[in-house]
Structure 1
Amino acid sequence: MADLDKYRKCIRQLLTEYAQRASSNNEIEAQTIFDVEQDHYQLIYIGWQNRRRIFGPVMHFDIKNGKIWIQWNGTEEDVGEQLAAMGVPKNDIVVGFHPPYIRQYTDYAVS
């Protein structure tokens, strides 16, 4: 349970930091969504840019079976490395947006 609390804290911290960086654009709002009961965590962008609607996930994390699943990373940053730098073991991080046959060649868990 201590690991789960730590993992939740790391994900919330990471998403909050990215949201604060992105909030410099007044027309596009960065929103964090923390569903602690179901262990789903997202950063989304919502707003308008040049008369075009912007809405979508930037990052999505789940915690499943005691591991952090990176379900989506719409940035160029290696958020797995950032989580590892926060003390999350790489064998507890799954890059879920990669197919299982590719995950075996990463430094992270397969599932």
Structure 2
Amino acid sequence: MSSPDTTPALAAEQDCGISLTIEQHDHVVELDLAVPGIQGPPGPPGPGGGGYHTHVQTTPALVWTIPHPLGRRPAAVAVEDLDGFEIDALVERPTEHLVIIMLGAATAGRAHLS
């Protein structure tokens, strides 16, 4: 729908995109739309992902030092006591192979890394 005060203009730009300019009263809106062209070559494979590791801390401790085989810093670390209740903890990921969990009281439990 266009009114007498609206003047749309379309222009193709070398098969790479479309520019749309709409002028209405004192306002001008310009919109550039990309149109897919020739697809380039595939990129290199991404880093390995997925996987999880569960650490069981049988001896109560304030600090749990957890070496793990994930080969990356885990995005999520869930800490629970031996009864399965979630525990608030400070989690550090200093390297791709190590997680350190600091607790408010010496606790035994599990850490789920993913």
| TM-score > 0.5 by shorter chain | no
Q: Larger % of helix: which?
A: 1
Q: Which structure has the greater CA radius of gyration?
A: 2
TM-score between both structures, scaled by the size of structure 2: 0.27
TM-score by length of 1: 0.28
Indicate the structure with greater strand content.
2
Bigger relative CO (Cα 8 Å, ≥ 6 apart): 2
